[in-house]
Amino acid sequence: MLLPDRNTVDRLLRHYRAQERTVLARPCDLSARRRFEDTAYTLCVLMGERTAREAVLAAERYVAGTRPVSPPALEGLPRA
């Protein structure tokens, strides 16, 4: 399986957190919210997750160097 560049994920995660603070500080700023959602989507695609929360958690684990948790649907299958 191909994995994203760890530095890219780290940079994107920091960018996500900065945008998150901006959106919380200015909830009516639609352009800030749009940038935040675009970054969240990119994290979802890079990490192969469906929600921003799952993607952020997976990115944090990945950057920290811990082994990702296998999805529950795949737990009983043999590994290749």
What average pLDDT does this structure show over 8-12? 96
Domain contains 71: no
Q: Please work out, in degrees rounded to the nearest 5, the angle formed at the alpha carbon of residue 11 by the alpha carbons of 7 and 12.
A: 115
Domain of 27 in residue numbering reads as: 4-64
Domain contains 79: no
What pLDDT band is residue 79 in, cutting at 50, 70 and 90? Answer: low
What total number of domains does the chain contain? 1
Domain contains 11: yes
pTM: 0.77
Domain contains 13: yes
Domain contains 45: yes
What average pLDDT does this structure show over 37-65? 95
pLDDT score recorded for residue 62: 95
